[in-house]
């Protein structure tokens, strides 16, 4: 199977495409393919020339940590969750919304910086009266992987629109501590509500299937009150 | 203000950092990745506690006895009493910071049955308890980050401790961004680096937890304890990329283990141990599966579909995605896999090692679980140990002036630079893979003198070549500099397993199949200048 990877040796260097031939098991995931290319044998590209190991992140290898988020055949997804069964070729790119560190490794620190900048913490648990436990459970599973930001037409790294990962944390905090609902409503409006164009592509790519639209609806309703 | 360096930002590191900050200490929280990537998010089933809403008949005393018994009576009673005695307080705390527990009709955290426990006392968040706790603790830490009391240092790896005359003064850290080594002094160093999963290759755990920190500190004088006790989780799903945990929650909710014999299902755990057979401790079930010598399945398909969807959704999704199995209708093929390490850095009751101001918390510390850990006790221990270490650090005066570690820094920088200058293509991962294969093979569920001696021979070979090979400079420098200490840890683990000539908990020797009262104490191992020496802790050196 042909594997095309958009590579980049350092944050400053120019990206380039390199093709590898994968001849491992076809019940593997994209993460398994990358592992195979790196360590099955000496790294040789499809032209038979020696190459260097492909940089990428992983930790859990089962879709619960978000480390291996990348763009796979044009769609942002987790490499460890994307099975290659039935695929004829795989094209891998780093998430383009974040600075590249090396190859498929990107710097997603801005996700956390935005949450810190807006004091996104629950504090004392004082639940809202709404019975939306399942929604809170889902929101708290956000991986901070960045897939929702990659696909978002409004998100630009370093700008003031913080995207769906931020909106879902806003919802979680407001629903777990009603005393913070007003404060959260203000930062939500400033960094999400005002500028979201509602493409909702974030919902489609979320590996945790977080109902972002419902988070938005509840936060907007809070604001209306 | 006192400075604390916490290495590792999973649940135990977060708990320690938060408690330190609450006590007015300033914390640097060091990790290569954000907390969302830590192994803690993979903890599935729950956290044990006896609260005022416990099952009729349950008590803290019963939790203590279950923990001691499940651990083969190796853990210290005082340590376990402290752990279990704080369960209720920890559940209250987690609730108070907004952890999204699964709740009962009154909206309070719910509990379920778990293995090796007399009563139901495992509080849970679906089958993603670790992830939900991490989310709550990350938010709580953020509160103290905003106040300037916790400062995160990301893309930073532990290299060595700064130790002089038996006192720790901080750590050498490797910064992946700048590629530089830096000496960071602190009044206390807290290791929260998790278990040794990657030393065994593909396990249920994170690829990031490899035991390097324990191995390195061992060579720097820290004693290790109970390394031979490695927990095999009985129910994991084998996939090409890893062994995936099928949480004990599946059996806690009623799941049954069976194998097929001539077209008939044999529920071997129930046949052998009675109606609660599927909830025996993990060491017992893993050995039974191993002894069955044929494919074993875990069946939850007979459960009410709503129980699966509401309490086990993560297991349902994992089986569907990676194995194409609908657990509503089809049993799950399961195998035991390396899962948790009862052994690690030896610590006193206050979580300090034998080196002053060097603490260890969470899975990298060995104290509560004895020869086998009960499911649900690891999350409890992660938080409790973080709190205990923080209190101990706050309760003593600072180290004052720190010595100059410039010479050590220059030497280690030189070694790192030498590795960088090579043009070798030899991947350090090949050696890591070789060792992992040895560890899996020779430290399996059933061990023997011959197995372990063969393992030692293999690891000794790796050690003999490790320093003579130049490694691929395009692999993360961490992988390059961590190899010698990892090999030393592998060797120490085999040596401890050879030393214990009995069977107890997770350590089963087919050549010594009985439990021997003479071994009813922890194994300690000291580096001893490169000639590691094992001994039994007969005097209870770490029980105070």
User: A-chain residues within 8 Å CB-CB of B208?
Assistant: 59
Same domain membership, residue B220 and residue B249? no
Task: Give the CATH number for residue A95.
Answer: 3.10.20.30
Question: Starting from the edge strand earliest in sequence, which strands make up the sheet with B296-299, in order?
Answer: B243-245, B230-238, B332-341, B296-299, B256-261, B264-266
A42 to chain B: closest CA residue:
B425
Number of helical H runs and strand E runs in chain B? 16, 22
Choose, from B19, B202, B256, B282, the residue flagged as catalytic: B282
The angle that helices B406-420 and B477-499 make with each other, rounded to 10 degrees, is 110
What's the token pair of residue A117? Answer: 């900048």
- In this predicted structure, the answer to whether residue B212 has a pLDDT above a threshold of 80 is yes
Q: Is residue B377 part of a domain?
A: yes
The whole-chain average pLDDT of chain B stands at 95
The pLDDT-based confidence of A224 (bands split at 50, 70, 90) is: low
User: B-chain residues within 8 Å CB-CB of A53?
Assistant: 427, 472, 474-475
What's the token pair of residue A161? Answer: 């629109």
Same domain membership, residue A167 and residue A94? no
Same domain membership, residue A63 and residue A23? yes
* 3-state class (DSSP) for residue B519: helix
Q: What is the pLDDT of residue B88?
A: 98
Same domain membership, residue A220 and residue A115? yes
Same domain membership, residue A175 and residue A195? yes
What's the whole-number mean pLDDT along residues B248-252? 94
The pLDDT-based confidence of B472 (bands split at 50, 70, 90) is: confident
- Burial (CB count <10 Å: 0-12, 13-18, 19+), residue A92: buried
* Whole-angstrom distance, CA of residue A121 vs CA of residue B505: 41
| Interface touch A64/B427, C-beta < 8 Å | no
DSSP E strands in B300-454: the ranges are 332-341, 344-346, 358-360, 365-366
What's the whole-number mean pLDDT along residues B130-139? 98
Same domain membership, residue A132 and residue A84? no
Q: What is the pLDDT of residue B202?
A: 86
User: B-chain residues within 8 Å CB-CB of A27?
Assistant: 240
| Interface touch A120/B475, C-beta < 8 Å | no
Query: Is residue B272 annotated as a catalytic residue, yes or no?
Result: no
Look at residues A88, A106, A124 and tell me which one is the last residue of a structural domain.
A106
User: A-chain residues within 8 Å CB-CB of B107?
Assistant: 127
* Whole-angstrom distance, CA of residue B316 vs CA of residue B326: 7
Count how many domains chain B has. Answer: 3
The angle that helices B477-499 and B212-219 make with each other, rounded to 10 degrees, is 70
Look at residues A106, A141, A168 and tell me which one is the last residue of a structural domain.
A106
Look at residues A106, A137, A171 and tell me which one is the last residue of a structural domain.
A106
Same domain membership, residue B489 and residue B373? no
B237 to chain A: closest CA residue:
A62
What's the whole-number mean pLDDT along residues B519-529? 97
B157 vs A42, residue with greater confidence: B157
SS (H, E, C) B474-512: CCCHHHHHHHHHHHHHHHHHHHHHHHCCCCECCECECCE
What's the token pair of residue A212? Answer: 């972002």
Give me the sign of the Cα torsion angle B13, B18, B23, B25.
Answer: positive
* Whole-angstrom distance, CA of residue A24 vs CA of residue B462: 27
Q: What is the pLDDT of residue B535?
A: 97
Task: Give the CATH number for residue B80.
Answer: 3.50.50.60
User: A-chain residues within 8 Å CB-CB of B153?
Assistant: none
Range of the domain at B294: 236-337
Same domain membership, residue B348 and residue B328? no
Question: pLDDT for B67-107, tens place per residue?
Answer: 999 999 999 999 999 999 999 999 999 999 999 999 998 88
Q: Hey, how many other C-beta atoms are within 10 angstroms of the C-beta on A25? A: 12
CA-based end-to-end distance of chain A: 56
Same domain membership, residue A124 and residue A102? no
Question: Starting from the edge strand earliest in sequence, which strands make up the sheet with B111-112, in order?
Answer: B47-48, B122-123, B111-112
- In this predicted structure, the answer to whether residue B509 has a pLDDT above a threshold of 80 is yes
Count how many domains chain A has. Answer: 2
Q: Is residue B525 part of a domain?
A: no
What's the whole-number mean pLDDT along residues B125-130? 94
Q: What is the pLDDT of residue A57?
A: 94
The pLDDT-based confidence of A225 (bands split at 50, 70, 90) is: low
- In this predicted structure, the answer to whether residue B320 has a pLDDT above a threshold of 80 is yes
Same domain membership, residue B185 and residue B41? yes
Question: pLDDT for A129-154, tens place per residue?
Answer: 777 999 999 999 999 999 999 999 99
Same domain membership, residue B285 and residue B364? no
Task: Give the CATH number for residue A151.
Answer: 1.10.1060.10
Q: Hey, how many other C-beta atoms are within 10 angstroms of the C-beta on A168? A: 28
* Whole-angstrom distance, CA of residue B413 vs CA of residue B182: 9
* Whole-angstrom distance, CA of residue B35 vs CA of residue B134: 7
Q: What is the pLDDT of residue B468?
A: 83
Question: pLDDT for B408-431, tens place per residue?
Answer: 999 999 998 888 888 888 888 889
Please name the member of B98, B103, B321 whose beta carbon is closest to the beta carbon of A176: B98
Q: Hey, how many other C-beta atoms are within 10 angstroms of the C-beta on A81? A: 19
Range of the domain at A170: 109-224
What's the whole-number mean pLDDT along residues B108-127? 94
Contacts of B379 by beta carbon, 8 Å cutoff, 6+ apart = B11, B43, B46, B47, B129, B130, B133
Same domain membership, residue B43 and residue B112? yes
Same domain membership, residue A205 and residue A127? yes
Rounded to the nearest angstrom, the minimum Cα separation between B44 and chain A is 11
* Whole-angstrom distance, CA of residue B541 vs CA of residue B504: 21
The pLDDT-based confidence of B399 (bands split at 50, 70, 90) is: low
Question: pLDDT for B321-342, tens place per residue?
Answer: 999 999 999 999 999 999 999 9
- In this predicted structure, the answer to whether residue B474 has a pLDDT above a threshold of 90 is no
Question: pLDDT for B263-314, tens place per residue?
Answer: 999 999 999 999 999 999 999 999 999 999 999 999 999 999 999 998 999 8
Same domain membership, residue B121 and residue B253? no
Residue A178, chain B, CB below 8 Å: the answer is no
> Which of B240, B244, B427 should we substitute to test contact with A (largest number of A Cβ atoms within 10 Å)?
B240
Question: pLDDT for A69-125, tens place per residue?
Answer: 999 999 999 999 999 999 999 999 999 999 999 999 999 999 999 999 999 999 999
Q: What is the pLDDT of residue B419?
A: 82
| Interface touch A59/B475, C-beta < 8 Å | no
> Which of B14, B22, B34, B208 should we substitute to test contact with A (largest number of A Cβ atoms within 10 Å)?
B34
Residue A16, chain B, CB below 8 Å: the answer is no
CB < 8 Å from B in window 47-106 of A: 50, 52-53, 57-67, 80-81, 83, 101
* H or E element that contains B190: strand B188-191
Contacts of B194 by beta carbon, 8 Å cutoff, 6+ apart = B8, B10, B38, B39, B205, B206, B208, B209, B362, B363, B364
The pLDDT-based confidence of A222 (bands split at 50, 70, 90) is: confident
User: B-chain residues within 8 Å CB-CB of A58?
Assistant: 207
- In this predicted structure, the answer to whether residue A223 has a pLDDT above a threshold of 70 is no
Q: Hey, how many other C-beta atoms are within 10 angstroms of the C-beta on B481? A: 22
Same domain membership, residue A114 and residue A14? no
* Residue A134 CA: distances (Å) to CA of A71, A130, A218: 29, 11, 14
Same domain membership, residue A75 and residue A42? yes
Same domain membership, residue A122 and residue A67? no
Same domain membership, residue A158 and residue A97? no
A173 to chain B: closest CA residue:
B98
What's the token pair of residue B253? Answer: 């909710």
Residue A53 is given by DSSP the state P
- In this predicted structure, the answer to whether residue B224 has a pLDDT above a threshold of 90 is yes
Same domain membership, residue A203 and residue A123? yes
* Whole-angstrom distance, CA of residue B380 vs CA of residue B46: 9
Rounded to the nearest angstrom, the minimum Cα separation between A70 and chain B is 15
């Amino acid at each position: 199977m042909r594997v095309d990877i958009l590579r980049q040796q350092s944050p400053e260097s120019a990206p380039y495409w390199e093709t590898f031939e994968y001849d491992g098991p076809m019940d593997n995931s994209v993460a398994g393919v990358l592992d195979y290319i790196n360590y099955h044998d000496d790294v040789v590209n499809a032209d038979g020339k020696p190459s260097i190991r492909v940089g990428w992140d992983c930790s859990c290898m089962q879709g619960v940590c978000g480390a291996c988020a990348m763009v796979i055949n044009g769609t942002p997804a987790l490499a460890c969750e994307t099975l290659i069964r039935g695929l004829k070729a795989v094209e891998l790119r780093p998430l383009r919304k974040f600075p590249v560190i090396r190859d498929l490794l990107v710097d997603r620190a801005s996700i956390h910086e935005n949450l810190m900048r807006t004091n996104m913490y629950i504090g004392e648990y004082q639940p809202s009266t709404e019975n939306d436990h399942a929604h809170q459970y889902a929101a708290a599973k956000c991986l901070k992987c960045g897939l929702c930001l990659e696909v978002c037409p409004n998100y630009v790294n370093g700008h003031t629109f913080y995207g769906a990962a931020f909106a879902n944390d806003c919802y979680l905090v407001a629903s777990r501590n009603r005393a913070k609902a007003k404060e959260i409503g203000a930062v939500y409006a400033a960094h999400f509500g005002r500028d979201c164009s509602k493409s909702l592509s974030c919902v489609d790519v979320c590996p945790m299937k977080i109902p972002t639209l419902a988070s938005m609806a509840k936060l907007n309703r809070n604001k209306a009150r | 203000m006192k400075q604390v360096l916490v290495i590792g930002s999973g649940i135990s590191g977060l708990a320690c950092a938060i408690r330190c900050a609450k006590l007015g200490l300033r914390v640097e929280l060091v990790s290569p990745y954000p907390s969302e990537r830590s192994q803690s998010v993979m903890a599935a089933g729950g956290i044990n506690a006896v609260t005022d809403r416990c099952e009729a008949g349950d008590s803290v005393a019963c939790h203590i006895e279950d923990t001691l018994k499940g651990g083969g009576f190796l853990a210290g009673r005082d340590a376990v009493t402290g752990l279990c005695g704080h369960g209720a307080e920890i559940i209250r705390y987690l609730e108070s910071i907004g952890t999204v527990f699964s709740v009962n009709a009154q909206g309070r955290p719910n509990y379920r049955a778990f293995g090796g426990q007399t009563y139901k006392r495992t509080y849970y968040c679906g089958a993603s308890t670790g992830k939900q706790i991490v989310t709550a603790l990350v938010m709580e830490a953020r509160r103290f980050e905003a106040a300037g009391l916790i400062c995160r240092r990301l893309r930073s790896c532990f290299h060595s401790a700064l130790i002089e005359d038996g006192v720790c003064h901080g750590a050498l850290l490797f910064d992946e961004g700048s590629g530089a080594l830096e000496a960071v002094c602190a009044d206390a160093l807290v290791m929260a680096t998790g278990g040794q999963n990657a030393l065994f290759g593909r396990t249920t755990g994170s690829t990031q937890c490899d035991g390097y920190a324990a191995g390195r500190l061992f060579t720097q004088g820290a004693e290790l304890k109970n390394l031979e006790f490695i927990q095999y989780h009985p129910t994991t799903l084998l996939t090409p990329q890893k062994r995936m945990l099928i949480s004990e929650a599946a059996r806690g909710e009623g799941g049954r283990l069976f194998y097929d014999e001539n077209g008939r299902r044999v529920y071997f755990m129930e046949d052998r141990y009675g109606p609660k057979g599927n909830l025996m401790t993990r060491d017992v079930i893993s050995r039974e599966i191993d002894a069955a010598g044929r494919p074993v399945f875990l069946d939850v398909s007979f459960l009410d579909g709503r129980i699966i969807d509401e309490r086990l959704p993560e297991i349902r999704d994992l089986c569907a995605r990676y194995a194409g199995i609908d657990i509503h209708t089809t049993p799950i093929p399961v195998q035991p896999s390396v899962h948790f390490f009862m052994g690690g850095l030896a610590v006193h009751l206050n979580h300090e090692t034998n080196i002053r101001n060097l603490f260890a918390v969470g899975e990298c510390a060995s104290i509560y679980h004895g020869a086998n850990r009960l499911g649900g006790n690891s999350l409890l221990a992660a938080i409790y140990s973080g709190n205990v270490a923080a209190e101990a650090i706050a309760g003593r005066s600072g180290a004052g002036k720190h010595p100059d570690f410039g010479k050590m820094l220059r030497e280690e920088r030189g070694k790192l630079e030498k590795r960088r200058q090579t043009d070798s293509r030899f991947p350090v991962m090949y050696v890591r893979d070789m060792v992992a294969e040895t560890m899996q093979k020779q430290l399996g569920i059933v061990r023997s003198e011959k197995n372990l001696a063969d393992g030692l021979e293999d690891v000794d070979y790796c050690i003999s070549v490790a320093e003579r090979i130049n490694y691929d400079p395009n692999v993360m420098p961490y992988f390059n500099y961590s190899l010698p200490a990892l090999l030393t840890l592998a060797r120490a683990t085999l040596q401890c397993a050879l030393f214990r000539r009995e069977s107890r908990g997770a350590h089963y020797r087919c050549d010594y199949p009985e439990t021997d009262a003479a071994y009813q104490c922890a194994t300690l191992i000291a580096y001893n200048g490169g000639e590691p020496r094992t001994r039994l802790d007969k005097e209870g050196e770490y029980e105070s």
